[in-house]
Amino acid sequence: MSAASTGPAAPLAILFELSHRCPLQCPYCSNPLALERAAAELDTAAWMRVLEEASELGVLQVHFSGGEPTVRKDLEDLVAQAARLGLYSNLITSGVLIDRARLDRLAQAGLDHLQLSIQDSDAANADRIGGYKGGHARKMALAAWVHEAGMALTVNAPVHRQNLEHLEDIIELALSLGAGRLEVAHVQYYGWGLKNRAALLPTRAQLERATVIVEAARARLKGTMVFDYVVPDYYARRPKACMGGWARQFINVTPSGKVMPCHAAETIPDLSFDNVKDRPLGDIWRHSQAFARFRGTAWMPEPCQSCDQREVDWGGCRCQALAILGDAAATDPACAKSPHHEALIALAEAESQAPAPPFTYRRFAAAE
């Protein structure tokens, strides 16, 4: 039956960007360039209500993210509410603000899983990339406490041309921290990542070497540590199914309550986003303009419309089409069937071989 007659299936997961505040300044942050201020953030009661609405909608997982979600003093209350509602909870954190007592409180509140980001295996380079002195050492301490608390740990390692030569050490580090899962995530080029693309984009040779290293480690560590490997699709022949397809599996809520199909959707100028303060979450998921705009396949241009991959990659990434081509409804240029694919590869090869410019760090001031 069509989505039009039955409505879309329930989303798998919801991501709460609780706050855009963060002590780190990573130059590839997935937050928008226009960061939302603390004064605009939803209050505790509003987040509690959204958790209830998510549960009623059939969501299974809630990811508490940011910025840095632990800047919110009410995080334990939100985790406890998720646990009461039977939602699987995941905290996506830089880890630098969590002491032992806070971790124990989060564990007692029912937190199921912690996803710790690291910037590198080398402490000095990690602190340089994150723009936060002493951050790496704090992360190492937190990982040990997570292990002791018996909580599931994923290490998230964004990789790029300024840390890729340490990839083997990054894998060993995640293993030594007791991570059950390691996400080796090549930086994606939206928001701050796009702004810093020339400083981050690896060469094709660096990417190919990284893929060989990950595949070898994945085979060697089977049964010990699971790998998620996210590639930069600038060099690919087919795009990724971004977010598992637009408005198919995920909901993103910004600190002020705007509801979006992905974290970068606000870059698309002709979309309008509903707010949880004005409209129930289920109604937004089923009927809002922004979710309906690129859901399914009816919106697709050729060659996607008659392509046998259209329900595999769902046309790739709308935000990437917008960022590269200025048209969110165009075929993702990461696809070799796009007339713009060769130009994208040429751009990537030229940019990745030129000297890296300095980072523009993710600061509120840098966004203005």
The alpha carbon of 190 is separated from its chain's Cα centroid by a whole number of angstroms, namely 11
Residue 239 within binding range of ligand SF4, rule CB under 6 A: yes
Taking the CA atoms of 108, 114, 119 and 122 in sequence, report the sign of the dihedral they define: positive
CA R_g for the chain: 20
- Which residues touch 1 (CB under 8 Å, ≥6 apart)? none
Give the total of residues touching ligand FES (CB under 6 A): 11
Residue 335 interacting entry, from ligand SF4, ligand FES, none, C-beta within 5 to 8 Å by type: ligand SF4
d(CA 75, CA 250): 21
d(CA 71, CA 20): 9
Residue 262 within binding range of ligand FES, rule CB under 6 A: yes
Q: Which stretch binds ligand FES (CB under 6 A): 67-75, 191-199, 216-224, 262-270?
A: 262-270
Given the structure tokens 């209050």, which residue do they identify?
Answer: 43
d(CA 188, CA 233): 9
Residue 304 interacting entry, from ligand FES, ligand SF4, none, C-beta within 5 to 8 Å by type: ligand SF4
Nearer Cβ to ligand SF4 (160/341): 341
Nearer Cβ to ligand SF4 (284/321): 321
Give the total of residues touching ligand SF4 (CB under 6 A): 14
Residue 236 within binding range of ligand FES, rule CB under 6 A: no
Strand locations in 18-95 (E): 61-65, 88-93
User: What are φ and ψ of residue 21, in 5° steps?
Assistant: -65, 140
Q: How far is the CB of 263 from ligand FES (least distance, A)?
A: 6
Residue 309 interacting entry, from ligand FES, ligand SF4, none, C-beta within 5 to 8 Å by type: ligand SF4
d(CA 156, CA 227): 10
- Which residues touch 94 (CB under 8 Å, ≥6 apart)? 22, 23, 24, 68, 116, 117, 130, 132, 135, 139
Which member of 106, 247, 307, 344 binds ligand SF4 (CB under 6 A)? 307
**In the stretch 33-52, what mask flags binding to ligand FES with x, by CB under 6 A?**
--------------------
Q: How far is the CB of 40 from ligand SF4 (least distance, A)?
A: 36
Which member of 59, 184, 217, 319 binds ligand FES (CB under 6 A)? 319
Q: How far is the CB of 162 from ligand FES (least distance, A)?
A: 22
The alpha carbon of 215 is separated from its chain's Cα centroid by a whole number of angstroms, namely 22
Q: Which stretch binds ligand FES (CB under 6 A): 61-69, 131-139, 154-162, 261-269?
A: 261-269
The contact set with ligand SF4 (CB under 6 A) reads 238-239, 303-304, 307, 309-310, 313, 315-316, 331-332, 335, 337
